[in-house]
Amino acid sequence: MISLILALAFAGMQDMPDTDSAQAVSEAAPEQPAPEPQRDPVTGELPVDPYEMSDAHAGATPFAGTGMRDAFHGQDGIRRVVNTMVDRATNDPRISEIFVSHDLVRLRRTLFEQFCYILNAGCTYTGRDMASSHRDIGLQIDDLNILVENLQAAMAQEKISFSAQNRFLSKLAPMKRDVVTR
């Protein structure tokens, strides 16, 4: 009973990735704090293992010209779309579980970079490629469709024309083979 309360209190205290819970409880004593990952004081992100960075990891070639950038209201609009989409997805009871152990600060940044790069709005993509970033998530096609709906709702809220929404989705649609893993 006491260990359960401790575990609950501990889980509520911080958002480090899953560790062995028995070990976590024993290390929760104040004398000996666990070596937990620290969020970067500037970016607010948790550290990740180093990996090679490339725009090719965005999974799609960017649009030519400025039409799509303008349709999405530039970087400000893209940032609003990404934030709205992540807010909706993480609050959507059908898929919110997927995001529980995720660094949402990093997710918002890398998604923004990916969308911004593909929409030719002046960004470099520094995230992982689609296959390795989704390998351990175990998404089903139903999850992806719900994510697409969340993205569509976010784009509609930004008042992006439906034809521009679909043009953007046409860049994302081929990524299904890397994103849906079961």
Partner 1 sequence: MNRLIDPVRIACILVLSASTLATSHAQDLRNGGKLLLTNGVSTIEGSGGGGLATWSTIAGNATQEGIGAQAHGTVIELPDYNWTSYGIALGFFDRVELSYARQNLDTIDIGTALGLGRGYTLNQDIFGAKVRLAGDAVYGDSMMPQIAVGVQHKRSSDDAVVAAVGGASPNGTDFYVSATKLFLSHSVLANATVRFTKANQTGLLGFGSATDTSHKPQFEGSIAYQLSRRFVVGGEYRTKPDNLAIAREDDWVDLFAAYALTRNVTVTAAYVDLGSIATADKQRGALLSLQAAF
| Closer CB to partner 1, 103 or 143, in the complex | 143
Residues 114-143 touching partner 1, rule: CB under 8 A, are 140-142
159 binds partner 1 (CB under 8 A): no
Partners of 139 in beta bridges: 180
Shortest distance in whole angstroms from residue 156 CB to partner 1: 8
| Closer CB to partner 1, 76 or 142, in the complex | 142
CA 10 to chain centre: 24
| Closer CB to partner 1, 24 or 95, in the complex | 95
Segment lying near partner 1 (by CB under 8 A), choices 8-16, 53-61, 125-133, 171-179: 171-179
Contacts of residue 126, defined as CB under 8 A and 6 or more positions apart, other chains included, come to 53, 110, 113
Shortest distance in whole angstroms from residue 86 CB to partner 1: 20
Nearest partner of 151 among 100, 80, 103, judged by Cα: 80
The rounded distance, in Å, linking the Cα atoms of 23 and 43 is 29
Task: Say how many residues touch partner 1, by CB under 8 A.
Answer: 19
Q: Exactly one of 81, 169, 178, 181 binds partner 1 (CB under 8 A); which one?
A: 169
Alpha-carbon Rg for the chain in angstroms: 19
Question: DSSP per residue over 47-94, as a string?
Answer: P-------GGGGSSPPPSSSHHHHHTTHHHHHHHHHHHHHHHHHH-TT
145 binds partner 1 (CB under 8 A): yes
| Closer CB to partner 1, 24 or 154, in the complex | 154
CA distances in angstroms from 87 to 26, 33, 36, listed in the order given: 34, 32, 26
177 binds partner 1 (CB under 8 A): yes
Residues in contact with partner 1 by CB under 8 A are 140-142, 144-146, 148-149, 152, 162-163, 166-167, 169-170, 173-174, 176-177
